[in-house]
Amino acid sequence: MRLLMLGGTEFVGRAVVEAALERGWDVTVFHRGRHDAPPGARTLLGDRTAPGGLAALAGDPGEWDAVVDTWSAAPRAVADAARLLRDRAHRYVYVSSCSVYAWPPPAGYGEDAPLVRGASAEAEQTDYARDKRGGELAVLEAFGADRSVLVRSGLILGPYENIGRLPWWLDRTGRGGPVLAPGPRELPLQYVDVRDLAGWVLHAARRRLSGPYNLVAAQGHATMGRLLDACVRVTGDRAELRWTEPGVILDAGIEPWTQLPVWVPPGSDLHDALHGADVSRAVGAGLVCRPVEETVADTWRWLRERGGTAPQRPDRPRPGLDPEVEAKVLGSR
Strand, coil or helix: 294:
helix
Residue 269: the pLDDT is: 92
**Dihedral sign, CA of 254, 260, 261, 265?**
negative
If you average pLDDT over residues 80-95, what whole number do you get? Answer: 98
Q: Looking at the domain 2-153, which fold is it? A: Rossmann fold (3.40.50)
Q: Is the pLDDT of residue 220 over 90?
A: no
Residue 317: the pLDDT is: 85
Q: Is the pLDDT of residue 261 over 70?
A: yes
Strand, coil or helix: 85:
helix
**pTM, to two decimals:** 0.96
Residue 23: the pLDDT is: 98
Task: Using pLDDT thresholds of 50, 70 and 90, give the confidence band for residue 311.
Answer: confident
Q: Is the pLDDT of residue 163 over 70?
A: yes
Q: Is the pLDDT of residue 74 over 80?
A: yes
If you average pLDDT over residues 43-54, what whole number do you get? Answer: 96
Going from N- to C-terminal start, the domains of the chain cover 2-153, 161-189+220-332
Average of per-residue pLDDT values in the chain: 96
Which one is predicted more confidently, 332 or 289?
289
If you average pLDDT over residues 161-175, what whole number do you get? Answer: 97
Q: Is the pLDDT of residue 144 over 70?
A: yes
CA distance 183 to 243: 6
Task: Using pLDDT thresholds of 50, 70 and 90, give the confidence band for residue 333.
Answer: low
Could you tell me how far CA 285 lies from the centroid of its own chain? 19
CA distance 18 to 37: 9
Q: Is the pLDDT of residue 176 over 70?
A: yes
Residue 38: the pLDDT is: 96
If you average pLDDT over residues 227-247, what whole number do you get? Answer: 98
Task: Using pLDDT thresholds of 50, 70 and 90, give the confidence band for residue 29.
Answer: very high
CA distance 71 to 48: 10
Buried b (16+ CB within 10 A) or exposed e, 301-315: ebbeeeeeebeeeee
Q: Is the pLDDT of residue 332 over 80?
A: no
Q: Provide the CB-side half-sphere exposure for 135 (13 A, CA).
A: 30
Percent of the chain with pLDDT over 70: 100
Residue spans of beta strands (DSSP E) within 73-190: 92-97, 148-153, 155-157, 177-182, 188-189
Please list the alpha-helical segments (H only) found in 60-106.
Answer: 75-85
Q: Could you write out the DSSP letters of every residue in 175-216? A: H-EEEEEES-TT-EE-EEEHHHHHHHHHHHHHHT--EEEEES
Write the CB contacts of 189 (distance below 8 Å, at least 6 apart in sequence).
155, 220, 221, 222, 223, 224, 227, 262, 275, 292
CA distance 305 to 83: 40
Q: Is the pLDDT of residue 309 over 90?
A: no
